[in-house]
Structure 1
Amino acid sequence: MKFLIRVILLTIIDFVIIWIWVRQVNPDPSISIGILILIPLVVILNLIIALILYFTKKEFVALFIVNSIISGILMSYLFGKGIDRYQNNRLESWTFKLKNETYTITHWKLENTFSISESSRPGSSSEFLSGKFIKKGDKYYLSTDTTEFIIKKGYLYKFRDDSDSIKLTKIER
């Protein structure tokens, strides 16, 4: 029972330390490859601590060996959540399908702009429209020099003509 309590306590400490570090680093998707270095780093760090404790306090060796696995899993999970947080602070997206085309609307929050791209097959898309994005109440207004669309309650209005209402699927991260 004492061992389990220590594992839980060490897991909580790991969680707090890793999450504070991830928030500080604020990882964007371009550095996601870093996880290939970070997971082994926390595992090796815990194994080094276990090795040092082997010569000083043997009763904690098993704890840090178990913690090496837990901390690797926590690093992977929290680093992924950090990237999601970065993305959610900067953009939100919706998709919809018309005929054989998939359209994606992306709201760039920091610039208050939007872009619309279309894709006829996975891995291939082209942006064809961009403009200003304004939020008023529960409505989003997407405007260019010649067009204005409205997003309200999960629907896109005025896409092809004034009577259009297209169901949107919000992309969650």
Structure 2
Amino acid sequence: MKLAFKILIISIIDVFIIWLWFYYVDPDPSISIVLMIILPTVFFINLIVAGILWINQKRKLSQLFIINSVLTVVIANYLWPKAIKRHQNKIYDTYSFNYNDKSYQISIYKKESTFMITKSENPGSFWGFQDGTAQYKKD
């Protein structure tokens, strides 16, 4: 099997494993600093596997894991924001509309069934003027 095809297969497996891990962790934006631990850990795990394979005289497979150590970091760095967006979509609903040259945004926090309405008259400035408990109905 060619090296490029093997890299593709391992990369697909990496995407699956990393996404399952991020799905299980369900990260919120406040823990993004943990990437400083996750990315080097994933990198060094692949290098350790490469070293073990190198010692066991499996040089081609070892090269594959050396290449994969870099690819895995890139994949994890790409999937992390997707996992955070998934988390945010799971707990928040946001709706925006304009009325009389003013922008309004309704944010609903699903866990506590609360809402907040903010108003903006100028880009970059807004203030909350209404909040309370949200009640969900069928439609």
Shorter-chain TM band? 0.7 to 0.9
Provide TM-score, normalisation by structure 1: 0.68
Q: 1:47 to 1:100 in 2, by over 3 A?
A: farther
Query: Once the 2 structures are TM-superposed, how far is the Cα of residue 132 of structure 1 from its aligned partner?
Result: 2.9
Q: Which range is displaced more, 50-59 or 83-92?
A: 50-59
Residue 59 of structure 1 is matched in structure 2 by 60
Structure 1 residue 127 and structure 2 residue 105: aligned?
Answer: no
Gaps of 5+ in 1: 139-173
Residue 158 of structure 1 is matched in structure 2 by none
Residue 151 of structure 1 is matched in structure 2 by none
- Of structures 1 and 2, the one scoring higher in RCO (CA 8 A, sep 6+) is 2
Counting only pairs closer than 5 Å after superposition, residues 71-150 of structure 1 correspond to structure 2 as: 71-98=72-99, 101-119=102-120, 120-122=122-124, 124-138=125-139
Structure 1 residue 34 and structure 2 residue 10: aligned?
Answer: no
Q: Distance in 1 between matches of 2:49 and 2:13?
A: 15
Provide TM-score, normalisation by structure 2: 0.82
Percent identical = 39
Q: Which has the larger radius of gyration?
A: 1
Does the residue aligned with 1:111 lie in a helix, a strand or coil? coil
The number of aligned residues is 137
- One-letter amino acid of the structure 1 residue matched with residue 41 of structure 2: L
- One-letter amino acid of the structure 2 residue matched with residue 130 of structure 1: D
Q: Distance in 1 between matches of 2:116 and 2:17?
A: 37
RMSD over equivalenced CA pairs, Å: 2.1
Residue 24 of structure 2 is matched in structure 1 by 24
Q: Which range is displaced more, 79-88 or 43-52?
A: 43-52
Residue 69 of structure 1 is matched in structure 2 by 70
Q: 1:48 to 1:100 in 2, by over 3 A?
A: farther
Higher strand share: 1
